[in-house]
């Protein structure tokens, strides 16, 4: 789970992506077409924690989750409401589900082996 590197409170991925949309505008649409470009923009992006108000770079957040977020935003049509600059997906819930399925998958695979 993504946490603020300064105050340690959990962060909402939807809100983080919305900060990027707000700042990048239409460039964000292009970034979402290219995984590498998205990730490098993500690492360099200065996010602001909604809890403590401090700023930090995206590289301080778990990159594995950022990759998943990229996939989720691409997998679902209309995942972003560009007009209102809002993420429609509940990214944190989807990430949690994804982790759960991965763990389950590991368990099943291990039993079979």
Contact between 72 and 89 under an 8 Å Cβ cutoff? The reply is yes
Query: Would you count residue 7 as binding Zn ion (CB under 5 A)?
Result: yes
Contacts of 38 (CB under 8 A, 6+ apart): 31, 32, 70
Q: Segment near Zn ion (CB under 5 A), from 3-11, 29-37, 40-48, 94-102? A: 3-11
From the centroid of its chain, how far is CA 95?
Answer: 9
| Minimum gap (Å) between residue 104 Cβ and Zn ion | 32
Choice between 59 and 98, CB closer to Zn ion: 59
Site string for Zn ion, 11-50 (x = CB under 5 A): --------------------------------------x-
Contact between 13 and 65 under an 8 Å Cβ cutoff? The reply is yes
Q: Map the footprint of Zn ion across residues 48-77, applying CB under 5 A.
A: 49, 51-52
| Minimum gap (Å) between residue 67 Cβ and Zn ion | 23
Contact between 91 and 17 under an 8 Å Cβ cutoff? The reply is yes
| Minimum gap (Å) between residue 112 Cβ and Zn ion | 43
Choice between 5 and 39, CB closer to Zn ion: 5
Which of the 8 DSSP states describes residue 70?
H
Contact between 7 and 49 under an 8 Å Cβ cutoff? The reply is yes
């Amino acid at each position: 789970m993504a946490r603020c590197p300064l105050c340690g409170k959990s962060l909402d991925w939807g809100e983080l992506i919305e900060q990027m949309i707000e700042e990048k505008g239409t460039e964000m649409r292009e970034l979402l077409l290219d995984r590498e470009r998205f990730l490098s923009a993500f690492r360099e992006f200065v996010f602001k924690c909604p809890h403590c108000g401090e700023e930090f770079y995206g590289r301080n957040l778990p990159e594995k989750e950022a990759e998943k977020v990229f996939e989720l935003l691409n997998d679902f049509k209309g995942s972003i409401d560009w007009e209102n600059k809002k993420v429609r997906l509940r990214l944190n819930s989807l990430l949690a589900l994804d982790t759960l399925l991965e763990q389950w998958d590991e368990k099943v695979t291990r039993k079979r082996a």
